[in-house]
């Protein structure tokens, strides 16, 4: 994530000791007058972080610093696989299994997670997709940016995306899976798209959905919400949910709203953002 932010102009620091954060920000405020943005990565490796982060963050906020906290997480199976692939040891796994270390870390970071402005579950993102998501969201971050909407198509059989704010179930729509020539395709294929959109149920649903979102999104913006994740699910996450997510993306483009689009169950080469 840090490299993705660095590539779009952030001054990035990895694993800065928490006690150095206030003097670091003071020095940056004096020396950087061009509005350059700063990104820092802190985790359980940082000495004293878990014991003191809440107090330090509150003090910085009172001093007028604007902190935007991004909390990255993944499910346990994904994290175990990643540690195995990289052959890196979890920082809390000296005397216990990695599974116990991950559970301990999750409990210890629960308070920080509640403070986060943005929670990203990276379980179903490739490094390339996560990089694109970060750069799309934070290439022009301001304290009161417009609402950024995140669209995710998914399969109910693999679980609802945990970061979802709103969930749409489109399993009531006619299923291309049962059409032999459409079964191996995805909703990114024009033939599947046409099949789904030609159904009267789909047209009626989209009409109500567009009206609902056109009413709802301005209220979220007025309330000050900066990120909203809308998940669209069907049984296998390959056909109907992909089509509806793509159509919603086209609708948002007309309204000039920033958004990202991720098809969780579709191979990376067919996923868009």
DSSP letters spanning 7-45: HTT-EEEES--GGGHHHHHHHHHHH--S---EEEE--TT
What is the pLDDT, as a whole number, of residue 146?
Answer: 64
Alpha-carbon gap, residue 258 to 146, rounded angstroms:
8
**119 Cβ neighbours under 8 A, 6+ residues apart:** 71, 73, 113, 163
Q: Which residue has the tokens 């979220």?
A: 220
Alpha-carbon gap, residue 120 to 88, rounded angstroms:
22
Examine residue 143 and state whether it is found in any structural domain, yes or no. Answer: no
Residues 197, 78 share a domain? no
Name the domain boundary from 117, 138, 159. 138
Residues 161, 264 share a domain? yes
Alpha-carbon gap, residue 124 to 267, rounded angstroms:
11
Q: For the chain (length 273 residues), average pLDDT per consecutive 10? A: 82 88 85 73 77 89 89 87 68 67 85 90 86 81 64 95 94 96 96 96 96 91 82 97 96 84 77 38
Angle between helices 98-108 and 76-86 (to 10 degrees): 120
What is the pLDDT, as a whole number, of residue 167?
Answer: 97
Could you tell me the CA-to-CA distances from 100 to 46, 106, 252 in Å, in that order? 20, 10, 43
Residues 92, 175 share a domain? no
Examine residue 246 and state whether it is found in any structural domain, yes or no. Answer: yes
Could you tell me the CA-to-CA distances from 195 to 9, 70, 179, 271 in Å, in that order? 44, 39, 10, 20
Alpha-carbon gap, residue 92 to 100, rounded angstroms:
9
Is the Cβ–Cβ distance between 261 and 249 less than 8 Å?
yes
Is the Cβ–Cβ distance between 198 and 247 less than 8 Å?
no
What is the pLDDT, as a whole number, of residue 30?
Answer: 74
Residues 166, 59 share a domain? no
What is the pLDDT, as a whole number, of residue 140?
Answer: 66
CATH number at residue 54: 3.40.50.300
Residues 47, 162 share a domain? no
What are 252's two structure tokens? 């948002």
Q: Which domain does 39 fall in, by range?
A: 2-138
Alpha-carbon gap, residue 182 to 185, rounded angstroms:
5
Name the domain boundary from 138, 167, 188. 138
In the chain, the number of structural domains is: 2
Residues 129, 89 share a domain? yes
């Amino acid at each position: 994530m840090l490299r993705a932010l660095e590539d779009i102009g952030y001054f990035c620091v990895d694993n800065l000791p928490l006690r150095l954060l206030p003097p670091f920000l003071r020095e940056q405020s004096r020396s950087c007058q061009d509005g350059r943005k700063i990104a820092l990565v802190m985790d359980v490796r940082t000495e004293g972080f878990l014991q003191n982060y809440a107090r330090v963050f509150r003090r910085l906020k009172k001093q007028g610093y604007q902190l935007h906290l991004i909390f990255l997480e993944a499910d346990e199976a994904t994290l175990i696989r990643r540690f195995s692939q990289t052959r890196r040891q979890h920082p809390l796994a000296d005397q216990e299994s990695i599974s116990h270390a991950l559970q301990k870390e999750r409990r210890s970071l629960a308070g920080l997670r509640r403070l986060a402005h943005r929670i990203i579950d990276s379980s179903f993102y490739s490094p390339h997709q996560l990089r694109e998501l970060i750069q799309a969201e934070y290439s022009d971050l301001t304290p009161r940016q417009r609402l950024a909407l995140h669209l995710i198509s998914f399969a109910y059989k693999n679980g609802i995306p945990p970061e979802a704010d709103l969930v749409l179930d489109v399993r009531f729509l006619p299923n291309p899976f049962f059409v032999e020539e459409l079964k191996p395709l995805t909703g990114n294929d024009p033939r599947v798209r046409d099949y789904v959109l030609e159904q009267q149920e789909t047209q009626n649903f989209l009409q109500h959905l567009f009206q609902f979102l056109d009413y709802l999104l301005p209220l979220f913006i007025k309330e000050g919400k900066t990120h909203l994740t809308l998940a669209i699910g069907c049984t296998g996450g390959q056909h109907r949910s992909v089509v509806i997510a793509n159509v919603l993306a086209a609708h948002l483009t007309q309204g000039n709203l920033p958004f990202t689009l991720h098809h969780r169950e579709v191979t990376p080469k067919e996923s868009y953002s």
